[in-house]
Amino acid sequence: GVLTGKIEKITDPTKQTAKCDECADERKGQPILGLTILRNVKKNGNDAELWDGGDILDPGNGKVYRVRLRPIDGGKKLEVRGFVGMPLLGRTQTWIRVE
């Protein structure tokens, strides 16, 4: 019942061996390829389409944010909202599933 996510592919050939030097937790110094960036995300009890309650790591700056996930377009895309405090104080990215 808990969702996690890790980086499986890096498209930039110059960053294949990059490490999370800015991370402040146990991920500090770990290779970004294979790094777990989504942790402890659970299905929301009030909204069947929403997953929340966990956190997401930005490996570029090492910051950890609270996260909300919502599948869209029948699961072909994923709205990822990282925020501090309240969901209003954050930003949303749309991730597209690789076929």
What domains are defined for the chain? 2-96 (2.40.128.520)
pLDDT in tens, 36-67: 999 999 999 999 899 999 999 999 999 999 99
| Percentage of residues in the chain having pLDDT higher than 90 | 88
Q: What is the mean pLDDT of the chain?
A: 94
Q: Is 14 left (phi over 0), alpha (psi -120 to 50) or beta?
A: alpha
- Which residue in 24, 29, 76, 68 sits closest to 49, CA to CA? 68
* pLDDT at residue 89, as a whole number: 86
pLDDT in tens, 24-40: 999 999 999 999 999 99
